[in-house]
């Protein structure tokens, strides 16, 4: 590890945690506001740094991601109580007190290298937890710059020294040692499946994310033009690098042709079988059974050129018409690029079954999307999908991260529940980084009065004796 040892990092973090735990809400909020402001003011420069270093995504969309991670996250958490007494209920006799967790280890991805850093820093500081950033190896410089900007802003408001630390480089073994360190309170893991799984097996509590393989069902009552426009704006956002972006379009046969015409009008290019095979070969690593890292966040032209196919200049999205799901159909996997699968279903039930199969093909617990004006069909669809977020009549990328087109918490860490091997289906935010103490006072619990206490004993124990037993104990 460059220049600083694991023990030094953890010693600094523990010391920062001790000081942080003594800050009041007003001081904490001043720090958070300063960090948000600094990150927001550097949104454009950090976006350019991310593009230059990672060679993926779209500059303007990277700027928007930085806005989400700073301004929208700040607006979402700024009024949340995270210090001291956060709720009092006289009737129940329960008082809740928020306490920080302690040092947090944050693994950040190459797809959102600056925005995820700033997001995790903001929610950690809001909950008074020091944070250690471990950037992706292909995004070290831009991620560290984002952390540095936040740290300097925090120090200017008298935040604890070393409340934000970062690791310029670490081996796999060193990363695992940090994860498993006895003083590490929590791991916030966003990245590849290997690192997320390592976080969960480290022995340290972890909040991770699962893979997204988001199906989008265009039900026959939907506004087709609006649905296609929404899907295009979502799937093309930052060249498809949002894990909640649509991965497969599912339509009923009755409207299939209309949907195809509309996609073609908006820049969707339907590939023939030969073109689909060539694109499949470059977007999916058949040995590792995952998408190829070479095409993540790349433009549609880059992918077409790599695959050796000719596409119109107007093409914005490559669409593969598929008949099945699985390793024999590589584009049925999660592909974080402007490439998407297309399925035609005989009817509503068949379409839902395809969505379920896609959901379980690498995206359990994450997100599912539906466009429909039939409330009953929307409810039916939602009930059978194993997804933490069911986004209705909105672009999935922008919908799942929250705060833009709905009122979900703004977050760049999207829980996938037990299906995705996560502990929550929530959009992870500051409230998930707190320990809640509960003071409970003696109250008569009227629910207990309705119990037949005599049933706890056999008939040899008289009713009077039962009452005496309960009076003695309660």
* Sign of the dihedral defined by the CA atoms of residues 294, 296, 302, 304, in that order: positive
C-beta separation of 389 from 235 below 8 A: no
What does each C-alpha distance from 464 to 135, 358, 446, 468 come to in angstroms? 68, 62, 21, 6
Taking the mean position of all CA atoms in its chain, how far away is CA 272? 34
Assign 3-class secondary structure to 130-174: CEEEECCCCCHHHHHHHHHHHHHHHHHCCCCCCCEEECCCCCHHH
Structure tokens at 138: 């292909």
Which residues, other chains included, contact 34 with Cβ-Cβ below 8 Å and sequence gap of 6+?
Answer: 153, 154, 156, 157
What is the spatial distance between Cα 192 and Cα 116, in angstroms, rounded to a whole number? 14
Cβ–Cβ < 8 Å for 335, 353: no
Catalytic residue (choose from 142, 150, 243, 355): 243
- Does residue 243 carry a catalytic annotation? yes
**Cα 23 from Cα 238, distance rounded (Å):** 38
Q: How far apart are CA 72 and CA 155, in angstroms?
A: 22
DSSP string, 57-90: S-HHHHHHHHHIIIIIHHHHHTT---SEEEEEET
Positions marked active-site: 243
């Amino acid at each position: 590890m460059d220049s600083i040892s694991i023990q030094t990092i953890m010693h600094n973090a523990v010391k920062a945690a001790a000081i942080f735990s003594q800050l009041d809400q007003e001081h904490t909020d001043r720090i958070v506001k300063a960090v948000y402001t600094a990150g927001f003011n550097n949104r454009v420069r950090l976006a350019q740094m991310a593009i230059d270093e990672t060679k993926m995504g779209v500059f303007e969309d990277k700027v928007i991601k930085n806005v989400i991670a700073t301004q929208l996250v700040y607006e979402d958490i700024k009024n949340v109580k995270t210090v001291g007494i956060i709720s009092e209920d006289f009737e129940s006799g329960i008082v809740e007190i928020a306490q920080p967790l302690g040092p947090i280890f944050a693994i950040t991805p190459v797809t959102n290298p600056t925005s995820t850093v700033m997001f995790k820093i903001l929610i950690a500081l809001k909950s008074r937890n020091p944070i250690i950033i471990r950037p992706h190896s292909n995004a070290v410089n831009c991620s560290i710059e984002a952390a540095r900007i936040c740290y300097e802003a925090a120090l200017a408001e008298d935040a604890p020294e070393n409340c934000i630390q970062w690791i310029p480089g670490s081996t796999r073994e060193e990363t695992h040692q940090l994860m498993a360190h006895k003083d590490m309170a929590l791991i916030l893991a966003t990245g590849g499946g290997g690192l997320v799984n390592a976080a969960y097996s480290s022995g340290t509590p972890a909040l991770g994310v699962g893979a997204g393989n988001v199906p989008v069902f265009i039900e026959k009552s939907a506004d087709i033009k609006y649905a296609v426009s929404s899907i295009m704006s979502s799937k093309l956002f930052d060249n498809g690098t949002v894990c909640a972006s649509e991965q497969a379009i599912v339509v009923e046969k009755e409207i299939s042709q209309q949907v195809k015409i509309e996609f073609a009008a908006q820049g969707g290019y339907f590939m023939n079988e030969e073109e689909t095979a060539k694109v499949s070969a470059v977007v999916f690593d058949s040995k590792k059974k995952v998408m190829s890292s070479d095409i993540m966040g790349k433009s549609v032209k880059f992918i077409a050129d790599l695959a050796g196919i000719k596409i119109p200049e107007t093409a914005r999205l490559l669409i593969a018409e598929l008949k099945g799901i699985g390793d024999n159909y590589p584009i049925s996997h999660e592909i974080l690029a402007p490439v998407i699968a297309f399925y035609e279903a005989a009817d509503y039930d068949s379409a839902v079954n395809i969505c379920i199969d896609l959901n379980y093909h690498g995206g359990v617990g994450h997100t599912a999307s539906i466009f429909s004006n039939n409330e009953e069909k929307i409810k039916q669809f939602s009930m059978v999908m194993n997804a933490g977020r069911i986004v209705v009549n909105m672009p999935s990328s922008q919908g799942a991260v929250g705060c833009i087109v709905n009122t979900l918490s703004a977050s760049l860490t999207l829980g996938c529940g037990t299906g995705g091997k996560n502990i929550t289906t929530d959009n992870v935010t500051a409230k998930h980084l707190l320990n809640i103490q509960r003071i409970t006072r003696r109250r008569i619990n009227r629910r207990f009065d309705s119990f037949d206490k005599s049933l706890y004993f056999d008939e040899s124990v008289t009713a009077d004796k039962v009452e005496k037993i309960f009076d003695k104990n309660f």
